[in-house]
Amino acid sequence: MSTSDIAIAVGWNVNTVRVTQKDFIDRGTEALMESRRGGRYHAHMTAEEEKEFLARFEEQAAKGHVLVAGGIKEALEERLGRQVNKTTVYRMLYRNGWRKIMPRQSHPKRDKKAGEAFKKGASQKG
C-alpha cells in the first residue's frame, strides 16, 4: 500500500505514517510499542484544578457579573506565581466549556421610531 492509502486506512496524517514507517525501519517493533503522541505534557494545572479554579468565576457569572479574560488571567498568574500568555486563559476556558456571551447593544424587539421620538423630546427639554 502507498503511504497515502495507509493514512486513509488508519485515519492518520500522511506525515505521521511516514514517521512511523521510518521508526519501524530504524528500531523494529519496539518503535510501535511505545506511546508518545498526544496528551497535555506541560499543563499548569490538572483538569480538576482548572474546574476548581474556575468555580469562583462561575459563581460571579451566575450573579450577573461580566467576566473578562484579563481578570481571570490575573487570578491565574497569582495562583501560578508567574506570568502566562492570554491564549493560555482562552484555551483553559474552551477546555472547560466556557463560551463568549456578550450583552446585547439593544433589545431585538425595540421600536426605533419610539426611541428617536424619545431622544428628540429629551433634547428639547434640556
State whether 63 and 24 are in the same domain: no
Could you give the CA distance from residue 126 to residue 123 in angstroms, rounded to a whole number? 5
Q: Please indicate whether residue 117 or residue 77 has the higher confidence score (pLDDT).
A: 77
State whether 51 and 91 are in the same domain: yes
Model pTM score: 0.54
Q: Is residue 61 part of a domain?
A: yes
Q: Is residue 42 part of a domain?
A: no
Mean pLDDT of 66-91: 93
Q: Is residue 75 part of a domain?
A: yes
Q: Is residue 100 part of a domain?
A: no
Q: Please indicate whether residue 32 or residue 54 has the higher confidence score (pLDDT).
A: 54
State whether 52 and 82 are in the same domain: yes
Could you give the CA distance from residue 88 to residue 75 in angstroms, rounded to a whole number? 13
Q: Is residue 102 part of a domain?
A: no
- How many domains, the chain? 2
Mean pLDDT of 45-60: 93
Cα three-residue angle 119-123-126, rounded to 5 degrees? 140
State whether 55 and 18 are in the same domain: no
Task: Look up the domain containing 11 and give its range.
Answer: 3-33
- pLDDT over threshold 80, residue 94: yes
- Provide, rounded to the nearest whole percent, the portion of the chain with pLDDT above 70: 94
